[in-house]
């Protein structure tokens, strides 16, 4: 009869230490299992491969190798049994320390781990949140039509001073007050429409009156709310070469324009089509916002002790995602930190509140899914995988979706979506 002894010490709501001791009754089955593994490679005279008794196999194998493999299996199996017995939910890999080992008769070790503690949910079925419908204004429709006009406009190069509404082709570089180039503040053969407000406020105004071949130099004070912290309120001196000035001749908004702009025949049909597309896009945004607000409301009302290790993992994961995004834009991690005026440690501290919420939300949704018995079928998973594969033409990217670790991530996302959908049902029910 197995007689494993477990001594539990709760160091905090999210940290537990287990002292586990096992004797021959626990260890012998594990030893026999390990010997079965060795049986495939050990030849015992008079026996076919894999059929020799365990005692004979033991005498033939390297004792150090046997002990090493035994300890690895024993620690894994006994740890798993211990956390099941104690009804623990580890939040990561444990820190294991071997304290005593008398070959195959006495084993003692400690396992220290972060755990997911009790999760106290509110009565989420009674949490209500008013739904909103997406509204599309005439101004929004007209803005899309204006963009279509600009896209379909003719460009006629002119030999005159640039005016509002003209399109310039420019080369430009920007330097800070110390004369160092500003990351991202450069471009070659860049098309810029005067009056489009796509550049830093004041930049386009400086180019009014410029002609092809002109060299311009001017200083712009960056806005106080600029996205890059290090540039907020700071002067940047731009050097600009105007390579071309073109008059933008926009087409008249009539039925002929509508027919060219889309699969319609009239301006009225075009406006209706634009309105439908805008409404669908905005409705999708409204629904995502609704879901986010609902989840936040439930999470804020839940009591969860979040393991610090999970927060650390989330911070590092967010950092890795940010690094990959920066790389696609040609910026290094070091350049980004410099532009923000912060250290790596400060950046991570900034990320912790959001990371903590994401972890807490994930734990709460997992608890809801368990209580609601939310599951996904193999068919649902396969459909989602095929949909995702259809978004990639690269066979290598498609093959990535067949990897078990990626499929687990897809399955997890599906579970989250189905759980949120269940909460939305409760929230919107009257």
* DSSP codes of every residue in 152-221: H-EEEE-SS---TT-EEEEEEEEE-TTSPEEEEEEEEEEEEETTS--SSTTTGGGGTT--TT-EEEEEEE
pLDDT digits (tens, 9 = 90+) for 153-199: 999 999 999 999 999 999 999 999 999 998 778 999 999 999 999 89
Q: Which of 142, 141, 83 is nearest to 115 (CA)?
A: 83
Instruction: Give me the pLDDT at residue 183, please.
Output: 77
Instruction: Give me the pLDDT at residue 264, please.
Output: 94
Cβ contact 369:385 at 8 Å: no
Look up tokens 């009257």; give the residue.
430
For 214, the token pair is 């002109």
- For the cut 80, the answer to whether the pLDDT of residue 42 exceeds it is no
- For the cut 70, the answer to whether the pLDDT of residue 52 exceeds it is no
List the end-to-end C-alpha distance of the chain, in Å, as a whole number.
Answer: 57
For 105, the token pair is 């008769």
- For the cut 90, the answer to whether the pLDDT of residue 62 exceeds it is no
For 115, the token pair is 């755990």
pLDDT band (50, 70, 90) for residue 57: low
Cβ contact 219:236 at 8 Å: yes
Helix axes 267-300, 344-372, angle to 10 degrees: 90
How far is 339 from 228, CA to CA, in rounded Å?
6
Instruction: Give me the pLDDT at residue 1, please.
Output: 47
Of the ranges 15-29, 235-249, 392-406, 408-422, which one carries the lowest mean pLDDT score? Answer: 392-406
Cβ contact 273:260 at 8 Å: no
Which helix (H) or strand (E) segment is 422 a member of? helix 404-428
Cβ contact 427:127 at 8 Å: yes
Q: Which of 243, 242, 275, 257 is nearest to 153 (CA)?
A: 257
Distances (CA, A) of 205 to 163, 201, 208, 249: 9, 8, 5, 20
Beta strands 181-193 and 106-114, pairing class: unpaired
Q: 3-class DSSP state for residue 19?
A: strand
pLDDT digits (tens, 9 = 90+) for 370-406: 999 999 999 999 999 999 999 988 888 889 999 999 9
pLDDT digits (tens, 9 = 90+) for 170-180: 999 999 999 99
For 332, the token pair is 């290094």
Q: What percent of the chain has pLDDT over 90?
A: 74
For 112, the token pair is 């220290």
Instruction: Give me the pLDDT at residue 45, please.
Output: 59
Partners of 97 in beta bridges? 110
Beta strands 181-193 and 95-102, pairing class: unpaired
List the helix and strand counts (H, then E) for the chain: 12, 9
pLDDT band (50, 70, 90) for residue 33: confident
Mean residue pLDDT across the chain: 91
How far is 186 from 171, CA to CA, in rounded Å?
8
Instruction: Give me the pLDDT at residue 428, please.
Output: 85
Q: Which of 416, 276, 286 is nearest to 358 (CA)?
A: 416
Distance of CA 355 to the CA centre of its chain: 11
Average pLDDT over residues 239-261: 96
Look up tokens 């940047």; give the residue.
236
Instruction: Give me the pLDDT at residue 2, please.
Output: 55
pLDDT digits (tens, 9 = 90+) for 267-314: 999 999 999 999 999 999 999 999 999 999 999 999 998 899 999 999
For 149, the token pair is 């006009």
How far is 250 from 149, CA to CA, in rounded Å?
5
- For the cut 60, the answer to whether the pLDDT of residue 50 exceeds it is no
Instruction: Give me the pLDDT at residue 54, please.
Output: 62
SS3 sequence of 318-367 = HHHHHHHHHHHCCCCHHHHHHHHCCCHHHHHHHHHHHHHHHHHHHHHHHH
Instruction: Give me the pLDDT at residue 98, please.
Output: 95
pLDDT band (50, 70, 90) for residue 411: very high
Domains annotated for the chain, with CATH where assigned, are 5-114 (3.30.70.1050), 119-151+265-305 (no CATH), 154-249 (3.10.50.40), 374-430 (no CATH)
């Amino acid at each position: 009869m197995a007689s494993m002894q477990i001594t539990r010490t709760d160091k905090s709501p999210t940290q537990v230490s287990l002292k586990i001791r096992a004797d021959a009754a626990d260890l012998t089955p594990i030893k026999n299992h390990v010997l079965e593994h060795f049986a495939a490679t050990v030849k015992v005279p008079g026996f076919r491969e894999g059929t020799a008794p365990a005692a004979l196999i033991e005498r033939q194998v390297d004792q150090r190798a046997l002990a090493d493999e035994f300890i690895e299996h024993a620690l894994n199996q006994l740890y798993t049994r211990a956390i099941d017995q104690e009804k623990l939910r580890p939040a990561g890999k444990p820190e294991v320390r071997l304290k005593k080992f008398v070959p195959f008769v006495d084993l003692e070790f400690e396992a220290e781990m972060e755990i997911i503690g009790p999760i106290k949910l509110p009565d989420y079925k009674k949490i209500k949140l008013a739904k909103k419908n997406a509204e599309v204004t005439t101004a929004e429709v007209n803005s899309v039509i204006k963009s279509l006009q600009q896209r379909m406009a003719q460009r006629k190069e002119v030999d005159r001073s640039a005016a509002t509404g003209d399109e310039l082709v420019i080369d430009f570089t920007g330097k800070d007050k110390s004369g160092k180039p500003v990351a991202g503040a450069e471009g070659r053969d860049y098309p810029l429409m005067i009056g489009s407000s796509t550049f830093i406020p004041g930049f386009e105004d400086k180019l009014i009156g410029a002609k092809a071949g002109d060299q311009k130099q001017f200083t712009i004070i960056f806005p106080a709310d600029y996205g890059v912290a290090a540039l907020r309120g700071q002067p940047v001196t731009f050097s600009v070469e105007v390579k071309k000035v073109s008059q933008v001749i926009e087409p008249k908004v009539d039925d002929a324009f509508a027919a060219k702009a889309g699969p319609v025949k009239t301006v009225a049909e075009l406006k209706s089509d634009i309105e439908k597309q805008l409404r669908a896009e905005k409705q999708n945004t409204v629904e995502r916002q609704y879901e986010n607000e609902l989840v936040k409301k439930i999470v804020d009302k839940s009591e969860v002790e979040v393991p610090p290790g999970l927060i650390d993992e989330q911070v590092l994961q967010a950092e890795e995602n940010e690094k990959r995004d920066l790389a696609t834009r040609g910026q290094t991690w070091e350049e980004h930190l410099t532009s923000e005026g912060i250290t790596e440690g400060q950046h991570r501290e900034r990320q912790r509140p959001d990371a903590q919420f994401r972890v807490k939300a994930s734990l709460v949704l997992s608890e809801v899914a368990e209580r609601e018995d939310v599951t996904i079928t193999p068919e649902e998973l396969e459909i989602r995988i095929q949909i995702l594969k259809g978004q990639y033409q690269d066979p290598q990217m498609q093959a990535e979706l067949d990897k078990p670790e990626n499929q687990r991530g897809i399955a997890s996302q599906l579970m989250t979506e189905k759980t949120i959908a269940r909460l939305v049902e409760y929230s919107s029910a009257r």
